[in-house]
Amino acid sequence: MKELKLEEWNENPFKVIGKDWMLITAEKDGRTNMMTASWGGLGIMWGKNVVTVYIRPSRFTKEFVDAGEKFSICIMDEKYRKQLNYCGSKSGRDEDKVKACGFSVEKGDGTVWFKESRLVLVCKKLYSQPMDAAALNDEKLRNAMWKDDVHEMYIAEIEKAFVQ
């Protein structure tokens, strides 16, 4: 993979996150785990290029993200849609999802990612906070999205980006 300057990245983040999906990927105790996500954002915060992701407390990947200073965002080609669906519906508590998907783990810059990714964002956690369901003004949306498992929001600096 080659390093990419974010200013040169020209993809639509609404498509990349909302339609293509991303794998939030992290390592804990020498083990890699990931989850599929389609909620998030890219932007500028505190003068830094950042990604914002949201993870439910019940997700096994949250333990991995919380355990370290960094995590990665992996964007895959459409040919990996089956694996992305799998990673969003199965728990790493019950099985090795990396092995089940046939992904190759790469390590560097203090985190892990997948060799098969078309885009990798190396992210350093800056801020995290549980979301407050009562603060969501749209009651229908609040009732549809949250019961007892309200997401935690993470804002992370994008330290590096890599592309195939």
43 contacts 153 by C-beta, under 8 angstroms:
no
Q: Are 112 and 149 spatial neighbours (Cβ–Cβ below 8 Å)?
A: no
The stretches of 29-90 forming alpha helices (DSSP H) are: 60-67, 81-89
Could you tell me the CA-to-CA distances from 140 to 35, 130, 134, 136, 145 in Å, in that order? Answer: 26, 20, 12, 10, 9
Domain map (residue ranges) of the chain:
2-163
Query: Would you state the structure tokens that stand for residue 134, as one six-digit string?
Result: 């009562």
* pTM across the whole model: 0.95
Split at pLDDT 50, 70, 90, the class of 144 is confident
Is the pLDDT at 148 greater than 80? The verdict is no
CA dist 163 and 84 (Å) reads 18
Bridge-partner residues for 44, per DSSP? Answer: 49
CATH superfamily of 2-163: Electron Transport, Fmn-binding Protein; Chain A (2.30.110.10)
Q: How far apart are CA 1 and CA 162, in angstroms?
A: 6
- pLDDT score for 146: 79
In this structure, what token pair is assigned to residue 73? 């965002």
pLDDT of residue 142: 85
Contacts of 36 (CB under 8 A, 6+ apart): 21, 22, 23, 84, 85, 87, 88
Q: Quote the CA–CA distance of 4 and 121 in Å, as a whole number.
A: 10
The candidate with the shortest Cα–Cα distance to 113, out of 63, 71, 83, 152, is 71
Q: For the purposes of burial, counting CB atoms within 10 Å of the CB of 45, is it exposed (0-12), middle (13-18) or buried (19 or more)? A: middle
pLDDT digits (tens, 9 = 90+) for 56-98: 999 999 999 999 999 999 999 999 999 999 999 999 999 999 9
